[in-house]
């Protein structure tokens, strides 16, 4: 079996070795349901769609994805198992991809557990299921981006709490990037191209384009490129620690 897949399996099983996985899944569902029904007034909107559910995902993931990703490397470094892992006859990228895939699959599982909501919406009306599927794919990719960033930060420290905080801060930058508040602060002194570059990094902007309807290819490309770049950085971070 491929080494990446072996790492994936071990890491994915690791999530279920403690009750933490269950706690996480329950928290994820409780918060997303709570936001859907109470904050976004799912029923009062009188519309058969799941926008109320997806609306909050960038904010939800900002905290929850670092919680999944913080342990990926920090825990290996703290316990010393990183020495085993990094002296096996494998390439660092195989480890990086395997670990990220495990976290991403776990996020996917959490997302999949919201299926009853999808069924309910279909029961109440006739939503555009194509749009909902696009939203699920977009949401999962966004989760993957947050996770890739979290994994990368996790490779820099052996302290899970620091890894968590670092990942939240980094994710926050990407979430806030599209807000007028941020752009207004940059606009007076930065050239237009910089302002546009910052705006184009916005998680919320890209995610909204997906939730607004069609499966937007540029938005998907954005998330996928970001994942690839963050994983590449993760490999670099491991290399840098070797030379430290």
Partner 1 sequence: MVLVETRALVKRFGAFTAVDGISFKVERGEVVGFLGPNGAGKSTAMRVIAGFLEPTEGSAYVAGHDSQLDPVGARQSLGYLPEGAPAYPDMTVGAFLEFVAAMRGLSKPTTRERLGELIERIDLAEVWGRRIEALSKGYKRRVGIAQALVHDPDVLILDEPTDGLDPNQKHEMRELIRTLAPNKAIVVSTHILEEVEAICTRAIIIARGKLMADATPAEILARAPPRDPAIQQLVRTTPLEDAFRHITLESAGS
- Residues making contact with partner 1 (CB under 8 A): 1, 3, 6-7, 10, 14, 17-18, 79-81, 83-84, 86-91, 242-244
Contact of 49 with 127, CB cutoff 8 Å: yes
For partner 1, give the closer residue by CB, 5 or 124. 5
Instruction: State the nearest-atom distance from the C-beta of 105 to partner 1, in Å.
Output: 17
Whichever of 92 and 205 has its CB closer to partner 1, that residue is 92
| Residue 2 beta carbon to partner 1: minimum distance, rounded to whole angstroms | 10
Looking at the Cβ atoms of 99 and 206, the one nearer to partner 1 is: 99
Q: Would you say 95 and 85 are in contact if contact means Cβ atoms under 8 Å apart?
A: yes
Q: Which residue matches tokens 């909107």?
A: 45
Q: How far apart are CA 103 and CA 200, in angstroms?
A: 26
Minimum CB separation of residue 88 from partner 1 in Å reads: 5
Q: Which is nearer to partner 1, 155 or 168 (CB)?
A: 155
Closest to partner 1 by CB, 6 or 195: 6
Q: What's the closest the beta carbon of residue 213 comes to partner 1, in angstroms?
A: 43
Compute the distance between CA of residue 195 and CA of residue 182 in angstroms, rounded to an integer: 10
User: Whats the size of the chain, residue-wise?
Assistant: 244
The span from the CA of 136 to the CA of 139, in Å, is 5
Two tokens at 6?
A: 């072996």
Asked if 59 and 48 touch (Cβ cutoff 8 Å), the reply is no
Least distance to partner 1, CB of residue 244, Å: 7
- Is-contact 102 11, C-beta < 8 A? yes
Rounded to 5°, the CA angle 77-83-89 comes to: 135
Q: Minimum distance between the CB of residue 116 and partner 1, rounded to whole angstroms?
A: 30
Q: Find out whether 51 and 211 touch, Cβ atoms under 8 Å.
A: yes
With respect to partner 1, which residue has the nearer C-beta, 87 or 126?
Answer: 87
Which has the closest alpha carbon to 223: 113, 147, 123?
Answer: 147
């Amino acid at each position: 079996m491929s080494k990446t897949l072996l790492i994936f399996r071990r890491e994915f099983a690791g999530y279920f070795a403690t009750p933490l996985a269950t706690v996480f899944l329950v928290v994820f569902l409780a918060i997303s349901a709570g936001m859907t029904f109470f904050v976004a007034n799912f029923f009062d909107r009188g519309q058969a769609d799941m926008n109320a559910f997806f609306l909050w995902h960038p904010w939800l993931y900002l905290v929850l994805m670092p919680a999944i990703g913080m342990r990926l490397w920090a825990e290996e470094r703290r316990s010393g198992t990183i020495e085993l892992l990094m002296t096996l006859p494998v390439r660092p990228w195989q480890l990086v991809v395997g670990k990220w895939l495990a976290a991403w699959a776990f996020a996917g599982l959490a997302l999949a557990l919201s299926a009853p909501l999808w069924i309910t919406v279909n029961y109440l009306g006739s939503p555009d299921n194509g749009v909902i599927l696009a939203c699920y794919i977009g949401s999962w990719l966004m989760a993957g981006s947050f996770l890739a960033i979290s994994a990368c930060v996790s490779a820099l420290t052996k302290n899970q709490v620091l890894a968590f905080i670092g990942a939240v801060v980094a994710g926050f930058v990407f979430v806030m990037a599209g807000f007028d508040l941020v752009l207004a602060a940059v606009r007076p002194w930065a050239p237009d191209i910089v302002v546009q570059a910052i705006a184009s990094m916005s998680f919320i902007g890209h995610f909204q384009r997906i939730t607004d309807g069609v499966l937007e290819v540029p938005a998907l490309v954005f998330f996928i490129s970001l994942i690839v770049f963050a994983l590449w950085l993760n490999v670099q971070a491991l290399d840098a620690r070797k030379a430290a």
